């Protein structure tokens, strides 16, 4: 008589509990059937181990005191997914050449079904990502969560920050309207102020001496190929490191044992996610993105307006006396970036408490104040888009 199969957990530890038999005994008829002809989810579990993966993430330990501030990372992830999906949809209709770019964006905005909505999600999504990313960075900064052993989680975060700004800068040119064109003329001119290599850098970024067809091609390639590849790699490393070192608790450890991510923290994440995505949808519907007249490189009366989060730098550049522009374009942003990158090593204090990190917190506040005030000045001095002739959607649509 042939021996009936027995099934022991250690033989296939990844089987779902439904199939797993914990007692080392002979498998029942039903269990034998389940083993011989597993249901699809069990078959998949044996091959990819998704159950274990999901379980591990739901069980991720949250130290006591972790709460709403720790929801921003997952909100960022969700917003990034929205950007990818809406970006792919827009790329299906977009055509990157000075002759067709503006017309294709106009077509998306006024003719394609849900085109204006999808474009709105993408445009407002980029703004929301910057806002949430700044909040996430400030949370990590004030909590001192960049300290040992999370130095590299922070460094990768700083690189992500730069890549996201790169997305905004390159994406801004794509509609090829007046605003896009002149902001890029001014923005790329910054490259020329870099000592020694400035002129070559300008040529590299623009693809020629002027902003033209090759600039648009380069920006498009960076926006849809180079930067997404870099971002995906960096975010994957970031998340791996976050999981490896787990979330840091509050600056002063609280009493109690860590609790699993599910259900309490997952609930908070879900609430913040719904609010964030709700706001995004509201903005996309309530404030559809504008499109100005087509770029006119011969026009000289257009006052350039960069995206709002570059306004601080732009204002800094405007107030610099002649001959000192490099301070605003290279020295100050360079020092801030290097300071951010090396922050975990600049901060030598062994406590995460803000009171014990006085010079770091003071320097951080000074930077925040400088960027904040300059941005505010820029916003106050920028004319609203509808005051610029030829900017209302109706006028553009009629062109």
Residues making contact with ligand HEM (CB under 6 A): 70, 72-74, 76-77, 80, 133, 136-137, 140, 145-146, 150, 153-154, 157-158, 160-161, 235, 238, 242, 247-248
CB of 331 to ligand HEM, least distance (A): 21
The angle formed by the CA atoms of residues 6, 11 and 15, to the nearest 5 degrees, is 95
Please, which residues have CB within 8 angstroms of residue 130's CB and are 6 or more apart in sequence? Answer: 164, 165, 168, 309
* Cβ proximity to ligand HEM, 137 vs 215, nearer residue: 137
Which regions of 218-321 does DSSP assign to beta strands (E)? 259-260
Q: What is the dihedral of CA 339, 341, 188, 322, to 10 degrees?
A: 10
Q: How far is the CB of 142 from ligand HEM (least distance, A)?
A: 11
Query: Within 13 A of 16's CA, how many CA atoms are on the CB side?
Result: 15
Distance in Å, CB of 233 to ligand HEM, minimum: 13
Of 363 and 392, CB closest to ligand HEM = 363
Q: Which is nearer to ligand HEM, 43 or 345 (CB)?
A: 345
Closer to ligand HEM by Cβ: residue 80 or 128: 80
Q: How far is the CB of 241 from ligand HEM (least distance, A)?
A: 8
Q: What number of residues does the chain have?
A: 399
* Cα–Cα distance, 367 to 137 (Å, whole number): 13
Residue 100 CB, shortest distance to ligand HEM, in Å, is 31
Q: Please, which residue, 248 or 280, has the CB nearer to ligand HEM?
A: 248
Q: Given the complex with ligand HEM, which of 153 and 168 has the nearer CB atom?
A: 153
CB of 212 to ligand HEM, least distance (A): 32
- CA dihedral of residues 221, 187, 131, 263 (deg, nearest 10): 20
Residues 6+ apart with CB under 8 A from 337: 158, 162
Tell me the C-alpha distance between 399 and 393, whole Å: 10
Q: Which tokens belong to 220?
A: 């498009």
């Amino acid at each position: 008589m042939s021996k009936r199969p027995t099934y022991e957990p250690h033989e296939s530890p990844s089987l779902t509990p439904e199939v797993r038999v914990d007692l080392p005994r002979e498998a029942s008829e039903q269990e034998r059937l389940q083993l011989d002809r597993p249901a699809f989810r069990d078959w998949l579990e044996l091959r990819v181990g998704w159950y274990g993966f999901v379980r591990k993430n739901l069980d991720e330990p949250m130290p006591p005191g972790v709460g709403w501030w720790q929801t921003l990372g997952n909100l960022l992830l969700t917003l990034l997914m929205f950007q990818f999906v809406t970006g792919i949809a827009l790329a299906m209709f977009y055509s990157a050449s000075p002759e067709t770019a503006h017309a294709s964006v106009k077509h998306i905005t006024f003719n394609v079904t849900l085109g204006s909505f999808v474009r709105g999600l993408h445009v407002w999504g980029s703004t929301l990502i910057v806002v949430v990313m700044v909040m996430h960075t400030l949370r990590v900064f004030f909590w001192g969560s960049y300290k040992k052993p999370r130095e590299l989680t922070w460094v990768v975060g700083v690189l992500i920050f730069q890549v996201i700004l790169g997305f905004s800068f390159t994406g801004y040119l794509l509609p090829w309207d007046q605003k896009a064109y002149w902001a890029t003329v001014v923005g790329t001119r910054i490259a020329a102020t870099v000592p020694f290599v400035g002129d070559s850098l300008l040529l590299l970024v623009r693809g020629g001496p002027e902003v033209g067809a090759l600039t648009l091609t380069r920006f498009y390639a960076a926006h849809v190929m180079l930067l997404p590849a870099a971002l995906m790699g960096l975010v994957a490393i970031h998340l791996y490191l976050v999981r490896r070192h787990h979330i840091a608790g509050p600056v002063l450890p609280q009493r109690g044992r860590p609790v699993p991510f599910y259900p309490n923290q997952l609930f908070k994440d879900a609430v913040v996610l719904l609010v964030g995505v709700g706001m995004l949808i509201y903005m996309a519907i309530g404030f559809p993105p504008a499109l100005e007249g087509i770029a006119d490189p011969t026009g000289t009366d257009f006052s350039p307006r960069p995206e709002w989060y570059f306004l601080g730098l732009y204002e800094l550049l405007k107030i610099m006396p002649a001959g000192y522009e490099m301070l605003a374009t290279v020295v100050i942003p360079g020092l801030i970036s290097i300071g951010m990158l090396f922050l975990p090593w600049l901060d030598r204090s062994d406590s995460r408490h803000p009171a014990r990190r006085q010079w770091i917190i003071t320097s951080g506040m000074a930077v925040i104040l400088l960027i904040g005030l300059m941005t505010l000045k820029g916003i106050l001095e920028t004319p609203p888009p509808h005051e610029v002739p030829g900017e209302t959607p109706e006028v553009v649509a009629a062109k």
